[in-house]
Structure 1
């Protein structure tokens, strides 16, 4: 008899009893002793195998296999749990194209259904995934623009990517650059500007367990070209004055700041461009403001200077003369102007601002205003001596002051033309429909710059008749007292003068038509020198044409001859006919 007091899994196997003596040996049939046990604590194998101090890891979109094995008799039944939720039954759990959402705890439970016993093993599985895109590089000024702050960042990913700066295939820390900051997804390095040549290329290399090859970004450091540029401009109505300073280009951007005579803006350093806001007033006229610019690759501090000035105006001629009726141009030039003036303004001789007239008023406009940023010209059209002569003003204002200059316009009259006298004024016929005129000038005019004579103006008016007058008789002829009184009444009741024609300077005769035979007219003529009118000639009334009997006598004689001839012919014909009848 075999008595086993402590049975374990190692006792499992075939057993038989053997009896023997010196003569014979007998064996019994085999018997199988099956020791029931388990399950033991399962063992989990992860393929592909990656184990860290935080647990197993896998790369996103890989196929991951989890195999669970536990010693048990009879063999165990296996159940898989993901974050305490059953997901699979069986010893091997395979996840095709694993994703980051599959990160968590996985537990394998082994169960002995005969003994109704269970055991469990839990592991942690982390799914690695790379950051999106590629690293981002930037270079900024640091340490009062004496050094470069090279910053490389690459957000996202699990675990965080590994980043480091290189130049010429060596890391910057190996070349003496100081590590400024290093975080989970970024790294910053201070590179002294004095140790960096212009147009240097820096490279940031990024690696990640989920990527087979490293990725990179670059940043180039270069100095701006030229010098900083200063400018000034004002807000609407010159309320504020804005001083702008910029130094374009370069990487990183240069830092610029203003310094004024009273310390304005000395602590306001800004990249690339800086605007200093000042209240506009005349006390800033002549003051200088300096803009400073600094770049890490430039050992010098660059400057530009801005001096504020009120406008200075110039004109080609402070006094301009012109003959009336002509156009004249007044000029105004902006000689010095910083900040720029809003606009150059012209004031006429009544101190009224001249504005550009609209297109609809071109036919009646008085002024033409043409202007640009640095000049403005005022043209006075059809000048008149009474209304246009005087002092005109050119004015300009900016944020620090204003100025104006006068321009005197003298509109001169043309010389007085010579006096004119009507020497012949008579109707062409007894029908009184047309009047023939002839005139003479009494002198050649006063001459001078404008000339003496440019034409004649012929006028007429209706008048109450005092009886027929002789040819060309003057209305001012001496008359008895009664007729003089009637003459004054007639003149008082005459209609206004009407212009009939404008004649050329060389003409000395004219025929006036459109006369009403029953009306009595007064006619006069005036010499004109451009816009200067001479003294009108004394008014005269046209005379009737003289009576001429010679044409009537000749006509009567010819008629008598024709009648006598006709009578003689008829008598001769009668005598011939009677003689024929007798024979």
Structure 2
């Protein structure tokens, strides 16, 4: 019969006539139908009567047609079996089948009526529930789980958990109710929690599974940024608020005023919506709070250009680098180098002669092998973002290289000329100083040199005036050389003395002494001649 779950245990019947057989046990669930067998015999039977054994036997139904059943729910089937429909909890008890055939036989039956578990009450003290019923708890929080169910007899309650790390784990079981606590929730404890209630009599089991998620908000504040789309000139507003689970929601507004611009992490704006100094605010909201959310603000602005050297010089055949720096551009500007304003769209392309490097918002143009015809003139650094365009010019002069060797030679020549002039002035105004300076530079161990020049005696009686002039010159020279004795010239004898003294003055003195002795000898001779009679 559909829906009938009966576990019937029959004992051995008593062999002796008129005695009670071993009690059989039948188990059925409430609201179902059950059939209780009268012994183990089948086929035609004698008179069969069923009783309910409480404090006193109560008649239920009999095969004697003259005895109506105690209730319509009771009836007899083939071989005297008792059928009870729509079982109730009060039907649980002891029943006896009496058979009268030559002898009277008693067959006791124990009927157990099981009820439930009809429902399970699960309680999880989580932080909240999603619209679909999924529970979530904050990371690091404490979660209490309890499970309760009602049944007849009391059910056995057990907890099971299944996470992404383990297939299934048994937490424990208890009668009627079971509860436990999870301390310091972590991501590893996220999973499905199942409570099962099992009727120990009927074996009927019910389960309730609850998904428990573990959430945590981002630990830092949101960061706003703006950049230009790689495929077009549109502006992309980005709000990054990473580090939490699940991902937060975003709302972009224009400030001041609070006009809503978009509700996604990445928001695209066309250039027609932009203006200088415009501000946009991103408000991020997480399911765990804070309630007011966290926000950041980004302000857009056009680029500003500056160059440290508006005029540059390059020597022919050399290299030169032009530098351009962009400030204040948000989003970052695109930097280009141009040669002439007459062709503003003709930008300089990198090549072997033109090397362009860019780091952040600083760009440099290096020109190799400078040429007057090709490279001289104005260069323009152009910066552009969706908010505005700026340009700055740099003048490049290309000159012939300087003769460094000639310049060095000229400088050396001027220095030598100045040294010669200074030396001449010192000789002119202070010869003694120069003499002493020269002596100090010469070593004292050098030999002294004295040169005496003895001129021939000339007897020129016809020109007495010339002799007197020569004698005066000799006298003047001897007076200038360490005050030597004056020469006296008689009969055309003239001694011209020239002395060069280096170093030791003693040697000079000895030389002068010899010269003086010679002069004295000459004077004595002259005196003798004067004593002679004329």
Shift of 1:136: 0.9
d(CA) in 1 for partners of 2:93 and 2:231? 92
* Equivalenced residues, count: 367
Equivalent residue runs for 1:504-523 within 5 Å: 514=506, 517-520=509-512
Shift of 1:479: 6.0
SS at match of 1:383: helix
Shift of 1:164: 1.6
Q: Would you say the 8 A contact 1:471–1:545 is kept in 2? A: yes
Task: Render the CA deviation track for 1:355-410: whole Å, top value 9, x for unaligned.
Answer: xxxxxxxxxxxx6xxxxxxxxxx98267356xxxxxxxxxxxxxxxxxxxxxxxxx
Structure 1 counterpart of 2:392, from 290, 301, 304: 304
Task: Render the CA deviation track for 1:47-101: whole Å, top value 9, x for unaligned.
Answer: 3451443733233344433332344322112221111111243422333443332
d(CA) in 2 for partners of 1:478 and 1:144? 120
Task: Render the CA deviation track for 1:106-160: whole Å, top value 9, x for unaligned.
Answer: 1222233344554433232112221221211012245899654221111232221
Shift of 1:518: 3.0
1:210 and 2:210 aligned: no
- The alpha-carbon distance between structure 1 residues 70 and 383, as it changes in their structure 2 partners (threshold 3 A), is same
Residue of structure 1 in register with 2:384 after alignment: 294
Residue of structure 1 in register with 2:89 after alignment: 11
Q: Would you say the 8 A contact 1:7–1:35 is kept in 2? A: no
1:138 and 2:225 aligned: yes
Q: Would you say the 8 A contact 2:306–2:324 is kept in 1? A: no
Residue of structure 1 in register with 2:431 after alignment: 456
Equivalent residue runs for 1:426-465 within 5 Å: 453-457=428-432, 461-463=449-451
Task: Render the CA deviation track for 1:194-223: whole Å, top value 9, x for unaligned.
Answer: 544433332110001111321111112234
Q: Would you say the 8 A contact 1:134–1:154 is kept in 2? A: yes
- The alpha-carbon distance between structure 1 residues 146 and 231, as it changes in their structure 2 partners (threshold 3 A), is farther
Structure 2: runs of 5 or more not aligned: 1-58, 61-73, 75-81, 95-109, 163-167, 341-345, 440-447, 456-477, 479-483, 522-534
SS at match of 1:280: coil
Instruction: Flag the structure with larger Rg.
Output: 2
Task: Render the CA deviation track for 1:275-330: whole Å, top value 9, x for unaligned.
Answer: 223323335442432211224333xx322222321358xxxxxxxxxxxxxxxxxx
Q: Would you say the 8 A contact 2:303–2:390 is kept in 1? A: no
d(CA) in 2 for partners of 1:138 and 1:195? 17
Residue of structure 2 in register with 1:89 after alignment: 173
Q: TM-score by structure 1 length?
A: 0.50
d(CA) in 1 for partners of 2:226 and 2:287? 27
Residue of structure 2 in register with 1:222 after alignment: 301
Residue of structure 1 in register with 2:367 after alignment: 278
Shift of 1:520: 4.4
Q: Indicate the structure with greater helix content.
A: 2
SS at match of 2:188: helix
Farther off after superposition, 39-48 or 126-135: 39-48
Residue of structure 2 in register with 1:127 after alignment: 214
d(CA) in 2 for partners of 1:289 and 1:104? 66
Residue of structure 2 in register with 1:165 after alignment: 252
Residue of structure 1 in register with 2:18 after alignment: none
Residue of structure 2 in register with 1:247 after alignment: 326
Q: TM-score by structure 2 length?
A: 0.54
Shift of 1:515: 5.4
d(CA) in 2 for partners of 1:40 and 1:5? 25
d(CA) in 2 for partners of 1:65 and 1:234? 80
Q: Would you say the 8 A contact 1:107–1:121 is kept in 2? A: yes
1:498 and 2:502 aligned: yes
Shift of 1:224: 4.5
- The alpha-carbon distance between structure 1 residues 112 and 545, as it changes in their structure 2 partners (threshold 3 A), is farther
d(CA) in 2 for partners of 1:111 and 1:144? 64
d(CA) in 2 for partners of 1:10 and 1:56? 38
d(CA) in 1 for partners of 2:513 and 2:390? 91
Equivalent residue runs for 1:144-543 within 5 Å: 148-168=235-255, 174=260, 182=264, 186-190=265-269, 192=271, 195-213=273-291, 214-224=293-303, 240-260=319-339, 263-265=347-349, 272-283=361-372, 284-298=374-388, 301-311=389-399, 347=406, 350=409, 380=415, 383-384=418-419, 453-457=428-432, 461-463=449-451, 471-473=485-487, 497-498=501-502, 514=506, 517-520=509-512
d(CA) in 2 for partners of 1:269 and 1:285? 19
Q: Indicate the structure with greater strand content.
A: 1
d(CA) in 2 for partners of 1:200 and 1:308? 38
Residue of structure 2 in register with 1:402 after alignment: none
SS at match of 1:310: strand
Equivalent residue runs for 1:556-571 within 5 Å: none
SS at match of 1:519: helix
Farther off after superposition, 240-249 or 209-218: 240-249
Structure 1: runs of 5 or more not aligned: 17-31, 313-340, 355-366, 368-377, 386-410, 415-449, 501-512, 523-540, 548-583
d(CA) in 1 for partners of 2:423 and 2:510? 42
1:109 and 2:109 aligned: no
Shift of 1:348: 5.3
Shift of 1:347: 4.3
